[in-house]
Chains A and B, each alone.
Chain A
């Protein structure tokens, strides 16, 4: 053996080596058990192409604003870009920035934390730019073809800046948590940070178009409400308007704000606070994890489960164990929490936006629309929650269910479903009902929540039809197109029912509609339950 000499200096290509690594890991997924190389990149390429195509198709909606003033068109594009990028970065950043296994692989190598952070952020920004590019492509192409090429050029620049702002904000959020709360509390705070970032992205992405759309065609930037300039996408739209639109003073102000705030965020995240990143990574390498409150919470939970009505509801010991397992993972497991809460909460912002948007109407179609569609969203919480709970980094441990003398996953599924209904769906439904009551009073329109609620127990059974035990699938499988398709189909069905409910409300035959819906839902409910009860373990691939 003729060993190569140990290099005396840090290799200059460090960031590019790491960038290549993290990009590969991002595209292929971190867990690839059972795959061969020929399968992995191909499927990744197809998946990525499909995702970009979907973004481009959604981006076609921007064509409706093509003849609007530059600020309106740009604001729509930036708001939706912010929405998609914010959600993507918020949902991916935790896994990319703070991966537990990575500590054992990389932290003893001669790699500086700054190089790792930069490489990861470059990957985040790169992928963000692909997604932003796909979403903005139809609008920019048509704008260029219709002679507004200067807008297209400026918008590419402002979108790049927006992507850097989004990535910088996410990194800064984690760095500030590390600085203010210390690395010991990072693990517990990561979920909250990610949820807050996702909520911010959804709010900024949803509010701006709702303010802008009614003003289409008649907007002057100077007439806009002052608080519009608190919403980041409006700043980036200001760049477009300043350089390729009205060039109004307020547009220039927005543009300067966009540049200044982005520079500040990037400096804070990557310059000033970068050293805290190393502390965060080290925390994940530490063997002593966060402490679980001794006895207290668990005793309380045991008492709750042993007392009526829960002891009746969870009379089967397998369901009860599965219920407790689900609660433990919903409360303690970083990976599950980072998937479940940031996945569900942003989706629930949309119905709240519906409600508040129409809150000023105490009666009429606006209010009815808000309540009905909010109810439809609420009906989907359990489905989303249970689907997310199929995935875990400890998926191999779920083999214990197969060793156990169980004929199939039915009872396990019941436990998961009941836990999700109790701790996720029930509080959200109560909160939603309270908001509707506060906004609209005890009006009969509150009944429009019913159609969505009737669907809730039926949708909650749908994940069980796959015969998948809780926490038994690798996290990367959560990114499959099939899971997304299920969710979209459920959303469409739910929205369709909400629309029909509104129609029946207006036409005066709401109660017959509810009766019919309840009968159909009951039919599906019992059919699904029967199917699940008869289900046997699917073959292991």
Chain B
């Protein structure tokens, strides 16, 4: 479903993504991890056709990112970290607009939207009467997730999807992506909440400074590095090993 080969993105003198290569088959949930500034969002933006790679190549469902970007875009859904929406549209107007961009008729879109609002426990009145600017962060996030799945894409990229969701919605969302994977969809899940990644993902890819550090099944990687948890493995790999001592040093500054 997703195949990246030597994918590279350079901004001026800064290499954000450095020769990243991986293959992700259908039906897999892949945790895409890395510390802040590691190049996760840039990689996702390249794979969704938002950014042109400086070098390297990638295919999504067999469509080349460089030569057939529109076909790539039709086959992916994306929940960006920003959770940006057009705030002066109502939720329904926004979702119908997105559906129209994928060529879904208004009646088909309505049916699909009804199913999503039932799943997310949203009120239809809110969706029709309130502008998105008046929604809570969690409600906005639910609309963004719905907009990413409306066209039933075979590949879905989630960048911090749980941000703003309440506990129930988060549990429901995790169940949803597991069901989507069972139906054969490829899920790329980028998050800093590592225990969720450990529980939900079949595989994790860890990058730092744009480079691939590790790629494998979470339990196997944890066992291989004898780290106990994915969180410990992650902090060891990405230079966070002395965090507790640094926190202690920092706390001391308040005592002086």
Contact = CB atoms under 8 A, between A and B. Distances in A.
A297 interface: no
Contacts, number: 136
Contact of A110 (B70, B82, B88, B97): B70
A184 B246 CA distance: 37
A279 to B, nearest CB: 8
A30 interface: yes
Nearest to A9: B103
A288 B11 contact: yes
B51 A282 contact: yes
A33 B74 CA distance: 31
Given A104-B82, A282-B52, A6 B100 contact: no
Given A38-B129, A108-B49, A286-B11, A29 B88 contact: yes
B153 A36 contact: no
Contacts of B49: 107-108
Interface string B128-167: 1111111000000000000000011100000000000000
Interface residues of A, number: 47
* Main SS at interface, chain A: loop
Given A30-B88, A32-B88, A107 B50 contact: yes
B153 A37 contact: no
Given A111-B101, A286-B11, A287-B42, A1 B115 contact: yes
A24 interface: yes
A21 B153 CA distance: 23
A40 B78 CA distance: 29
A295 interface: no
A36 B112 CA distance: 24
B41 to A, nearest CB: 6
B235 to A, nearest CB: 23
A35 B86 contact: no
A40 B50 contact: no
A105 B51 contact: no
Contacts of A10: 70, 103
B104 A37 contact: no
A7 interface: yes
B101 A110 contact: yes
A101 B12 contact: no
B16 A288 contact: yes
Contacts of B90: 37
Nearest to B77: A108
Given A3-B152, A32-B131, A34-B134, A108 B93 contact: no
B117 to A, nearest CB: 13
B134 A36 contact: yes
A287 B87 contact: no
Contacts of B48: 107-108
9 contacts: A1-B115, A9-B103, A25-B86, A37-B128, A40-B88, A108-B49, A108-B73, A108-B76, A288-B14
Interface of A: 1, 3-4, 6-7, 9-11, 13-14, 17-18, 20-21, 24-25, 28-38, 40, 101-112, 184, 282, 285-288, 291
The 10 closest A-B pairs by CB, nearest first: A3-B152, A11-B103, A7-B103, A288-B11, A28-B88, A32-B133, A33-B133, A32-B88, A108-B48, A107-B50
